[in-house]
Structure 1
Amino acid sequence: MPENPIKDVIRFGTFEADLRAGELRRNGIKIRLQEQPFQVLAMLLERPGEIVTREELHCRLWPADTFVDFDHGLNAAVKRLRDALGDSAENPRFIETLARRGYRLLVLVNGAARENAPLPHAGPSWRVGLAAVVLLLAGIIAGWHAGHRSAAAVRFTERRLTANPENDPVFSAAISPDGKYLAFTGRTGIFLRAVETGETHPVTIPDGGKTHLVSWFPDGSHVLATRSSSATEKPSLWSVSVFGGASRKLMDAAERGAVSPDGAQIVFVRGDYGHEEIWQMQSDGQHARRILGQPGENCESVVWSPGGNRIAFVRSAYRKGWEEADVSLGIYDLVGGKTNYLLSNGQLRAALAWSPDGRLIYSLAEPPPNQNDSNLWAIKVDARGNQAGGQPVRLTSGPDGKMRASLSGDGKRLTFLRWTESPAIYVSEVEPGGGRLPLLKRLSLDERRNFPYTWTPDGKSVVFTSDRDGVFHLFKQAIDQPAPDLLVGGDQSVTLARLNADSSAILYTLSPALHDTDRRVRLMRMPLSGGTPQLVFAEPGINNFQCARSPSKVCIVSEFSANHLDLFIFDPANGEKRQLRRFEGSDWYLYNWTLSPDGSTLALAKYQRLPGPADIRLLRITGGKERVLTLKDWNGISSLDWAADGRSIWVTASSPTGIQTLLHVDLRGAAKPAFQEPEKYLGWAIPSPDGRHVALWEASSSSNAWLLDGF
């Protein structure tokens, strides 16, 4: 007898799950959902109202002979399922978490009443999320608690507004002054969504291009958009009508704009990374003038006060090190010209909004082991821009980074983005002559952050860092094995790892210890065969090091200060070092470098976010002779590493159309694309010693808009 197809389709709420096809649909529209999250959903649908234990899910999702971090894998699968359903662990409508036991489906299935369904669980659910940058863990706990030890917690209703799939993130979202519409941007343009009905329409812009950020004009019919017509053009600010009508460019070389409450003025950010300034102009683009900014600083976000006489901003500067930014939340008096800093905390993030009743909303990263998550907080600010007393109030909790906050005109609706990123390691064979890479094979199967740094001498295993244990530890994994071996654990993060010249030892750096007020990074040495680690030396500014391969004995380390970057040749056996080169200026942290396998040449590139030709400087170790390779058709070099034979360089850059590309660059500057990634963020590539393989990382990302109602 043929099977009944109706039993294979289970309906719950506005969703239906086709168990045979493995598809989830909402109102007939297919929603992207990976296999493991769908299997979790299928088990819950089979037993609505009942507890499905974590052990049962383990058996269903992973065979007995599979070696995987089950807890992390299951947490990630449930999180992806909740994202697809628009559900929240803190205020669940579909899936309830029962701590350390399992999960329960709360909704009606095909019209049948659920049994034993309790009230939604109100307790927080903490899981490690994923963020855009690698954080230095030391000092986080003390700094975080210093300003938030007695902070109050207020719970609001969170509601998901957009449902973009993985690797199609929402870039920016802002709620209209009347609270009825959400303007948001993605890869395909600007969209306008009715908050209550979900009806969504694209906003037409005649000249195309890419829109990065949006905020509203007070009239509720226009948005201020940061746009680029092409990948080779600097961002500019536009006034865009959301209900039809002409768009108008207001200012070239400008971004991250905000319109004053009366609609008369705009503040915006201008400059390249490391040299960003805050400017002010009239709303028609006239009379622009610089008001804030120093060399070495970046402006993460800027908003107006309710009265329009002050602005609040989050600024960052890498004064103490590449991985530890000096981040501050300040208020600038546009009349008096004075700045008052309310918070100085390395865990500040870019979300910022100022409510009509004087609450300043900002975002803070969580302390370990949830350091990749950030949540929204609010402090009361008086009319003079000073904190009005009382403790900060927590507005959100749980996983993911909270970004791009915006408020309705009455301050009762707050929107923000929940963003995650998951860097994973992939391995590929390398074709002779540096052609395109064949199919990539994923090495790291967990959902944590993983970054490759070197290979074992035989070229069979990748040595990498991962925060699967909370802080970054060092691991080794053979390319034909499903799970890694731990090399270095402990309380401090491993920030970088390389082999010494004769490949007998692993050199690695550890983040500063909590008790070390000098913030010294420790360079360690450990036999590759195992043994007790030994300290090579400790300095407060180590940000990179690398050794050539035998017979060369050259090892180089770079150290920074507030206004320069020093390169030293060092001996990893005794820690002795001598200066090789100094780079002056406040933008030292924009330099990336790599040492050729024979130890003769340094290749250096300066990160450039804004359009322009990509240059690689080749510096001879002996004699200091220098020449420049210009990659004419490529922009924004983000990483570079010498190929195993020393005759070419693996480079990550952007194509003229903005696609991230792994290039194989010869020593004449000729670049061959080896791999392109149109969706994910593409990181660096590390070749194996024999040149037969390359390990690279790329990060999946997810971002959607959420609403806090009754705020």
Structure 2
Amino acid sequence: MLPAVRPARLTVTGFQGMPLSDEVRSLYRFGIFELEAYTGELRRNGVKLKLQDQPYQVLLKLLEQAGQTVTREQLRSTLWPADTFVDFETGLNTTIRRLRETLGDSAENPAFIETVPKRGYRFIAPVTPPYSEPESVVDKTGPGRRVRLSTVGAFLILALLSAGFGLRHWSAAASLPARVLEFAQLTSDGQAKQGRLVSDGSRIYFSEILPVGQILAQVSAKGGETTTIPTAVSNPRPADISPDGTELLILSGGSSKDEEAHGSTLWILPVAGGSARPVGNVLATDALWGERAETIVYCNGHNVYVVNRDGSNPRNLLTVSGHVQSLRWSPNRQVLRFTAATRDMGGTSSIWEASSNGAGLREVVPGLSGSAVCCGAWLAGSDDFLFQWTRAGRTDLWELPGNRSILHPSPIRLTAGPMNLSEPTASGAPNEAFVVGSIPRAELVKYVPQEAQLVPYLSGISAEGVEASRDGQWLAYTLFPEGTLWRSNLAGTERVQLSFPPMRAFLPRWSPDGKQIAFMGTTAGDHWTTYMIPAEGGVARQMIPGNDETADATWMPDNKSIVFGPWKGGESRGIKVLDLNTNQVSPLPGATEIWSPRTSPDGRYIAALSQQDSKMMLFDARTQKWEELCAHYTGYPNWSRDSQFLYFQDWNRGSEYPSRVVRIRIPDRKLETERI
């Protein structure tokens, strides 16, 4: 079996080894520029500039040793591991050129970066490093955000260990941009956390992920030891706390696709201890206390309802076209905001609001293709609204200013990495909130059937999308979260980097003859298409003609054509076939509402996913017909080398997390569970 990706536990530390518990002031100043080392943000006269990862790493290295020569070998070790086979000279020269272009600098007449012949480079401009400024500098920088971080873990599909944070900021004048200045860690129990954070100002409540399932936990808003809240409710997750802080609304169960569609049981749990009481027969995907906690507002499907706290007298408050989630009250409880999401392939999410009686429904943050907005919260005593925006594989915090003099205020981005930040919730104190942050890492493992366990593979590198060549001699994979494409032998040596920023690569696929690698790629961050690159290295070229977003290229055994589908965030529909000799594209019969194809090694079948419910489908090339293999919510199909088995992930297991790996025996269509 090919190597897989499993959850990896990490010790969460700040960027460049700085502990998150420190009050981070990682701002370098030089000339009209500022580099925020923690977030990787470069600003010129306060305006953010685009800075790619490798130029950023070089700039930070030069600033850390300002006035000293940084050798090319030092920069090489910073950018590439020791066993990396790459055209180092060209790669570094390109990185230095891009950095100089960003700074408006030149090699001939340098103002910032001086070339030291035959040795390296030196940063020659005066630099004000972090921690060298008096405390008053924070006030002199003008409006901004101070962030206090707390460790609350969260597992994503590639197993992310997350850290939960408290975020403190000072209200900004409308003409000045908001920005994050400081971070502080609040918890350090090392357990993964999931879903919403709920706070009464003195405590933070959340759900932790353990091997036996989810539990309800709490921690002081000032940080400290995490404690468990006992309850007989299975897999509890908090939704809201009553205005007087005595009762929690909790949902039973995880976040499976079945529960997203039909809702989970809603309960009332006393904070001081005692048995949870169900709210009648209510099934909800999210819930909030109504005024004075006599009523409850909850959502399910396309509707928002109001019900008495005992579950009686349910009535519809409003209906929207999307699926409603992430309900939030304004501080005065007169406005209700929520996320409305579409679940079809290429779907988006947007943030809407209505008055407390359901009137005045309007969209406040529109959705964009290839991205998702979600899960906002008003700051206490403020009209400013924080929310998360996921795009190009990362999640950041944004703010929608509460300036009532502007009919449609524009959102302002607050963070830009290296951490994903999400699930903001007000702390109860003025201008303070808590958020969840994650540092993405993966561990590459392989399954050993004889031992029935997963063991690290290639030293457990942080990689994904691994595929072996047909002759079994080579591997292709992408590093996570960097998104660079690599090739190595089965032992992980003879490594060659095939793609470089700004290209992000995903899901490489070997050609049958082992000479080419097809992969999904993007250089713009949100427009994915299919590329092909020589396995020995070279220039990647776009395979599919036109401007459609495409994905999941899979080779036919004759090496003369590929089958591909639409990118999930794009507008294209259906699975198509590209003839590599004529460059002509033709649709696959009956595949208009299907995506994510995988051809079997013998060319007889094509496995794919249905657009609507992500069911596993099978196309028979002989009969030219489709059949449903599995009605579960599935993903990432992969064939055995003899085409007798189809492996895939199954997310239809209630609250169990992560997903299980199953396989279907093709001759008799029998579903079997892989014991991983």
Cα distance change, pair 200–490 in 1 and its aligned pair in 2 (3 A):
closer
Give the Cα separation in 1 of the matches to 2:255 and 2:555: 40
Q: 2:362 aligns with which of 326, 336, 340?
A: 340
In the other structure, the counterpart of 2:352 is 330
Give the deviation of 1:68 after TM superposition.
7.3
- The question of whether the paired residues in 1 share the 8 Å contact of 2:530 and 2:542 is answered with yes
Q: TM-score, normalised by structure 1?
A: 0.62
Aligned residues: 537
Cα distance change, pair 175–225 in 1 and its aligned pair in 2 (3 A):
same
Cα distance change, pair 409–169 in 1 and its aligned pair in 2 (3 A):
closer
- The question of whether the paired residues in 2 share the 8 Å contact of 1:183 and 1:214 is answered with no
Q: 2:374 aligns with which of 329, 334, 350?
A: 350
Cα distance change, pair 575–413 in 1 and its aligned pair in 2 (3 A):
same
- SS of 2:603's partner is coil
In the other structure, the counterpart of 1:647 is 644
Q: Comparing both chains, which one has the higher relative contact order based on Cα–Cα distances under 8 Å and sequence gaps of 6 or more?
A: 1
- Could you tell me which amino acid in structure 2 is paired with residue 623 of structure 1? T
Give the deviation of 1:452 after TM superposition.
1.5
The 5-angstrom pairing of residues 313-392 of structure 1 reads: 313-317=338-342, 322=346, 326-335=348-357, 337-344=359-366, 346=368, 349-355=373-379, 357-365=381-389, 372=394, 374-380=396-402, 382=404, 387=406
The 5-angstrom pairing of residues 491-640 of structure 1 reads: 491-511=502-522, 521-536=528-543, 537-550=545-558, 555-559=562-566, 565-582=573-590, 592-606=596-610, 616-630=616-630, 636-640=633-637
Matched, 1:310 2:329: no
Q: String of CA shifts for 1:141-198, please: whole Å, max 9, x gaps.
A: xxxxxxx996522667654332231x6335432111xx22222221352124343584
Q: String of CA shifts for 1:26-59, please: whole Å, max 9, x gaps.
A: xxxxxx976999x9799xxxxxxxxx9999xx9x
Give the Cα separation in 2 of the matches to 1:607 and 1:423: 28
Give the Cα separation in 2 of the matches to 1:65 and 1:163: 30
- Could you tell me which amino acid in structure 2 is paired with residue 618 of structure 1? L
- Could you tell me which amino acid in structure 2 is paired with residue 580 of structure 1? L
- SS of 1:338's partner is coil
Give the deviation of 1:205 after TM superposition.
1.6
Give the Cα separation in 1 of the matches to 2:520 and 2:612: 26
In the other structure, the counterpart of 2:320 is 293
Give the Cα separation in 2 of the matches to 1:555 and 1:409: 56
Cα distance change, pair 133–364 in 1 and its aligned pair in 2 (3 A):
farther
Cα distance change, pair 247–333 in 1 and its aligned pair in 2 (3 A):
same
Give the deviation of 1:400 after TM superposition.
1.9
Matched, 1:168 2:200: no
Cα distance change, pair 494–229 in 1 and its aligned pair in 2 (3 A):
closer
The 5-angstrom pairing of residues 241-280 of structure 1 reads: 241-250=270-279, 251-271=281-301, 277-280=303-306
- The question of whether the paired residues in 1 share the 8 Å contact of 2:146 and 2:180 is answered with no
Q: String of CA shifts for 1:641-688, please: whole Å, max 9, x gaps.
A: 111110001122255772532234312344444453xxxxxxxxxxxx
- The question of whether the paired residues in 1 share the 8 Å contact of 2:400 and 2:409 is answered with no
- The question of whether the paired residues in 1 share the 8 Å contact of 2:520 and 2:553 is answered with no
In the other structure, the counterpart of 2:461 is 445
- The question of whether the paired residues in 2 share the 8 Å contact of 1:68 and 1:445 is answered with no
Give the Cα separation in 1 of the matches to 2:384 and 2:207: 24
Cα distance change, pair 130–616 in 1 and its aligned pair in 2 (3 A):
closer
Matched, 1:189 2:219: no
Structure 2 portions without partners, runs of 5+: 1-8, 20-60, 86-124, 148-152, 159-172
- Could you tell me which amino acid in structure 1 is paired with residue 562 of structure 2? C
- Could you tell me which amino acid in structure 2 is paired with residue 401 of structure 1? N
Q: String of CA shifts for 1:450-502, please: whole Å, max 9, x gaps.
A: 32153233323221233665xx3322122313573122335343344323344
Give the Cα separation in 1 of the matches to 2:430 and 2:135: 29
Give the Cα separation in 2 of the matches to 1:344 and 1:570: 35
Please identify runs of 4+ aligned residues in structure 1 that moved more than 6 A. 39-42, 52-55, 116-126, 229-233, 388-391, 393-397, 560-564
CA root-mean-square deviation: 5.0
The 5-angstrom pairing of residues 116-195 of structure 1 reads: 132=156, 151-153=176-178, 158-165=183-190, 168-176=192-200, 179-187=201-209, 188-195=214-221
Give the deviation of 1:582 after TM superposition.
4.1
Give the Cα separation in 2 of the matches to 1:359 and 1:35: 33
Give the deviation of 1:358 after TM superposition.
4.2
Give the Cα separation in 2 of the matches to 1:365 and 1:439: 35
Cα distance change, pair 155–623 in 1 and its aligned pair in 2 (3 A):
closer
- The question of whether the paired residues in 2 share the 8 Å contact of 1:131 and 1:401 is answered with no
Give the Cα separation in 2 of the matches to 1:197 and 1:36: 16
- The question of whether the paired residues in 2 share the 8 Å contact of 1:152 and 1:392 is answered with no
- The question of whether the paired residues in 2 share the 8 Å contact of 1:303 and 1:313 is answered with yes
- The question of whether the paired residues in 2 share the 8 Å contact of 1:186 and 1:211 is answered with no
Cα distance change, pair 671–389 in 1 and its aligned pair in 2 (3 A):
closer
Give the Cα separation in 1 of the matches to 2:540 and 2:317: 52
Give the deviation of 1:560 after TM superposition.
7.0
- SS of 2:589's partner is strand
In the other structure, the counterpart of 1:661 is 660
In the other structure, the counterpart of 2:48 is none
- Could you tell me which amino acid in structure 1 is paired with residue 600 of structure 2? S
Cα distance change, pair 641–314 in 1 and its aligned pair in 2 (3 A):
same
- SS of 1:380's partner is coil
In the other structure, the counterpart of 1:223 is 248
Give the Cα separation in 2 of the matches to 1:35 and 1:210: 25
Give the Cα separation in 1 of the matches to 2:146 and 2:242: 37
Give the Cα separation in 1 of the matches to 2:510 and 2:467: 7
Q: TM-score, normalised by structure 2?
A: 0.65
- SS of 1:566's partner is coil
Structure 1 portions without partners, runs of 5+: 1-31, 43-51, 70-99, 107-115, 135-147, 677-711
Give the deviation of 1:283 after TM superposition.
3.7
Give the Cα separation in 2 of the matches to 1:230 and 1:153: 33
Give the Cα separation in 2 of the matches to 1:566 and 1:172: 36
Q: String of CA shifts for 1:216-256, please: whole Å, max 9, x gaps.
A: 12131111112129988752221111112331222543122
Give the Cα separation in 2 of the matches to 1:444 and 1:197: 32
Q: String of CA shifts for 1:417-458, please: whole Å, max 9, x gaps.
A: 222332343345677xxx946634245635xxx321532333
- Could you tell me which amino acid in structure 1 is paired with residue 353 of structure 2? I
Give the Cα separation in 2 of the matches to 1:490 and 1:195: 40
Give the deviation of 1:413 after TM superposition.
4.0
- The question of whether the paired residues in 1 share the 8 Å contact of 2:458 and 2:491 is answered with no
The 5-angstrom pairing of residues 17-28 of structure 1 reads: none
Matched, 1:404 2:423: yes
Cα distance change, pair 556–120 in 1 and its aligned pair in 2 (3 A):
farther
Give the Cα separation in 1 of the matches to 2:199 and 2:467: 46
